[in-house]
Amino acid sequence: MYMDKEVISQDRKIYLRKQKRNKIAILATQLLIIVGFIAIWEIFAEIGIIDSFIASRPSRIVKTFFNLSQNDLLTHLGVTCFETIIGFGLGAILGVLIAIILWWSRFLSKVADPFLVILNSLPKIALGPVIIIWVGAGMRSYYNNGISNFFNCNST
Protein backbone atom coordinates (compact mmCIF):
# COMPACT_ATOMS: atom_id res chain seq x y z
CA MET A 1 0.00 0.00 0.00
CA TYR A 2 1.40 3.41 -1.04
CA MET A 3 1.27 6.35 1.39
CA ASP A 4 1.94 9.99 0.65
CA LYS A 5 3.44 10.66 4.07
CA GLU A 6 5.91 8.46 5.76
CA VAL A 7 4.64 7.23 9.09
CA ILE A 8 7.17 7.93 11.84
CA SER A 9 6.71 6.47 15.27
CA GLN A 10 6.83 8.66 18.38
CA ASP A 11 10.05 7.00 19.53
CA ARG A 12 11.68 7.76 16.18
CA LYS A 13 10.65 11.44 16.46
CA ILE A 14 12.15 11.65 19.95
CA TYR A 15 15.34 10.01 18.70
CA LEU A 16 15.61 12.44 15.76
CA ARG A 17 15.08 15.45 18.08
CA LYS A 18 17.84 14.16 20.37
CA GLN A 19 20.16 13.73 17.41
CA LYS A 20 19.44 17.26 16.20
CA ARG A 21 20.00 18.72 19.69
CA ASN A 22 23.22 16.73 19.98
CA LYS A 23 24.51 18.11 16.65
CA ILE A 24 23.63 21.67 17.68
CA ALA A 25 25.35 21.18 21.06
CA ILE A 26 28.49 19.85 19.37
CA LEU A 27 28.59 22.76 16.89
CA ALA A 28 27.99 25.32 19.66
CA THR A 29 30.77 23.77 21.78
CA GLN A 30 33.18 23.81 18.83
CA LEU A 31 32.40 27.47 18.13
CA LEU A 32 32.77 28.31 21.83
CA ILE A 33 36.19 26.64 21.90
CA ILE A 34 37.35 28.62 18.84
CA VAL A 35 36.04 31.93 20.20
CA GLY A 36 37.53 31.21 23.62
CA PHE A 37 40.91 30.31 22.12
CA ILE A 38 40.98 33.53 20.07
CA ALA A 39 39.88 35.61 23.08
CA ILE A 40 42.55 34.08 25.33
CA TRP A 41 45.15 34.58 22.60
CA GLU A 42 44.22 38.27 22.26
CA ILE A 43 44.18 38.83 26.03
CA PHE A 44 47.54 37.08 26.55
CA ALA A 45 49.08 39.12 23.73
CA GLU A 46 47.67 42.33 25.26
CA ILE A 47 49.00 41.49 28.73
CA GLY A 48 52.39 40.42 27.37
CA ILE A 49 52.31 36.72 28.26
CA ILE A 50 52.55 35.93 24.54
CA ASP A 51 55.08 37.87 22.48
CA SER A 52 52.88 39.47 19.80
CA PHE A 53 55.90 39.86 17.52
CA ILE A 54 56.24 36.08 17.28
CA ALA A 55 52.61 34.93 17.62
CA SER A 56 50.93 38.13 16.39
CA ARG A 57 47.45 38.95 17.63
CA PRO A 58 44.03 38.06 16.25
CA SER A 59 43.14 41.76 15.94
CA ARG A 60 46.24 42.41 13.83
CA ILE A 61 45.51 39.39 11.66
CA VAL A 62 41.96 40.61 11.01
CA LYS A 63 43.25 44.13 10.30
CA THR A 64 45.80 42.76 7.83
CA PHE A 65 43.16 40.56 6.21
CA PHE A 66 40.97 43.60 5.51
CA ASN A 67 43.95 45.47 4.04
CA LEU A 68 44.86 42.74 1.54
CA SER A 69 44.22 44.89 -1.50
CA GLN A 70 46.43 47.73 -0.26
CA ASN A 71 49.65 45.73 0.18
CA ASP A 72 49.63 43.63 -3.06
CA LEU A 73 49.10 40.43 -1.10
CA LEU A 74 46.26 39.39 -3.40
CA THR A 75 48.55 39.83 -6.41
CA HIS A 76 51.20 37.62 -4.83
CA LEU A 77 48.56 35.10 -3.79
CA GLY A 78 47.28 34.97 -7.37
CA VAL A 79 50.77 34.43 -8.77
CA THR A 80 51.46 31.69 -6.23
CA CYS A 81 48.17 29.92 -7.04
CA PHE A 82 48.85 30.24 -10.78
CA GLU A 83 52.37 28.82 -10.43
CA THR A 84 51.08 25.99 -8.25
CA ILE A 85 48.37 25.04 -10.75
CA ILE A 86 50.77 25.25 -13.71
CA GLY A 87 53.42 23.24 -11.87
CA PHE A 88 50.96 20.57 -10.79
CA GLY A 89 49.48 20.35 -14.29
CA LEU A 90 52.85 20.10 -16.02
CA GLY A 91 54.10 17.59 -13.46
CA ALA A 92 51.00 15.43 -13.80
CA ILE A 93 51.07 15.50 -17.60
CA LEU A 94 54.80 14.80 -17.75
CA GLY A 95 54.47 12.03 -15.16
CA VAL A 96 51.67 10.33 -17.06
CA LEU A 97 53.56 10.58 -20.35
CA ILE A 98 56.73 9.13 -18.82
CA ALA A 99 54.71 6.35 -17.17
CA ILE A 100 53.07 5.48 -20.51
CA ILE A 101 56.43 5.43 -22.28
CA LEU A 102 57.98 3.23 -19.57
CA TRP A 103 54.96 0.93 -19.62
CA TRP A 104 55.08 0.62 -23.40
CA SER A 105 58.82 -0.01 -23.76
CA ARG A 106 60.26 -2.78 -21.64
CA PHE A 107 63.77 -1.81 -22.81
CA LEU A 108 63.42 1.84 -21.69
CA SER A 109 61.88 0.67 -18.43
CA LYS A 110 64.88 -1.55 -17.70
CA VAL A 111 67.33 1.23 -18.68
CA ALA A 112 65.60 3.90 -16.56
CA ASP A 113 64.93 1.69 -13.53
CA PRO A 114 68.16 2.36 -11.55
CA PHE A 115 67.98 6.09 -12.26
CA LEU A 116 64.35 6.27 -11.13
CA VAL A 117 65.20 4.35 -7.95
CA ILE A 118 67.99 6.84 -7.20
CA LEU A 119 65.73 9.84 -7.91
CA ASN A 120 62.99 8.35 -5.74
CA SER A 121 65.38 7.84 -2.82
CA LEU A 122 66.57 11.47 -2.91
CA PRO A 123 64.85 13.92 -0.59
CA LYS A 124 62.52 15.95 -2.78
CA ILE A 125 63.66 19.14 -1.07
CA ALA A 126 67.16 18.54 -2.48
CA LEU A 127 65.83 18.78 -6.02
CA GLY A 128 64.45 22.30 -5.46
CA PRO A 129 67.75 24.22 -5.61
CA VAL A 130 68.83 22.25 -8.68
CA ILE A 131 65.63 23.14 -10.49
CA ILE A 132 65.85 26.80 -9.44
CA ILE A 133 69.46 27.02 -10.68
CA TRP A 134 68.48 25.40 -13.97
CA VAL A 135 65.25 27.28 -14.60
CA GLY A 136 65.61 30.46 -12.52
CA ALA A 137 63.35 32.01 -9.92
CA GLY A 138 59.93 33.50 -10.63
CA MET A 139 57.56 33.26 -13.56
CA ARG A 140 59.48 35.73 -15.77
CA SER A 141 62.71 33.73 -15.34
CA TYR A 142 60.85 30.52 -15.95
CA TYR A 143 59.44 31.68 -19.25
CA ASN A 144 62.52 33.59 -20.42
CA ASN A 145 65.23 31.14 -19.37
CA GLY A 146 63.89 27.71 -18.56
CA ILE A 147 61.50 26.93 -21.36
CA SER A 148 63.45 28.73 -24.09
CA ASN A 149 66.68 26.99 -23.05
CA PHE A 150 64.88 23.67 -22.83
CA PHE A 151 63.35 23.86 -26.30
CA ASN A 152 66.01 25.94 -28.08
CA CYS A 153 69.19 23.89 -28.27
CA ASN A 154 71.11 26.70 -30.04
CA SER A 155 70.77 29.18 -27.15
CA THR A 156 73.89 30.09 -25.21
Average pLDDT over residues 20-24: 96
Q: What is the pTM of this model?
A: 0.44
* C-alpha atoms less than 13 angstroms from C-alpha of 36 in its C-beta half-sphere: 6
Residue 148: what pLDDT? 47
Q: What is the pLDDT of residues 26-76, one digit of tens each?
A: 999 999 999 999 999 999 999 989 888 888 899 998 888 888 777 787 788
- Domain ranges in the chain are 10-66
The contacts of residue 42 (CB under 8 Å, 6+ apart) are 57, 58, 59
3-state helix, strand, coil in the chain (%, to 5): 80, 0, 20
Q: What is the mean pLDDT of the chain?
A: 83
For residue 136, name the pLDDT band (cuts at 50, 70, 90): low
The helices-and-strands tally (H runs, E runs) of the chain is 8, 0
Q: Higher confidence at residue 21 or residue 3?
A: 21
| Side-chain half-sphere CA neighbours of 16 within 13 A | 6
| Rounded Cα distance, 75 and 6, in Å | 54
Q: Report percent pLDDT > 90 for the chain.
A: 49
24 or 132: which leads in pLDDT? 24
Q: Give Cβ neighbours of residue 148 (< 8 Å, ≥ 6 apart).
A: 155
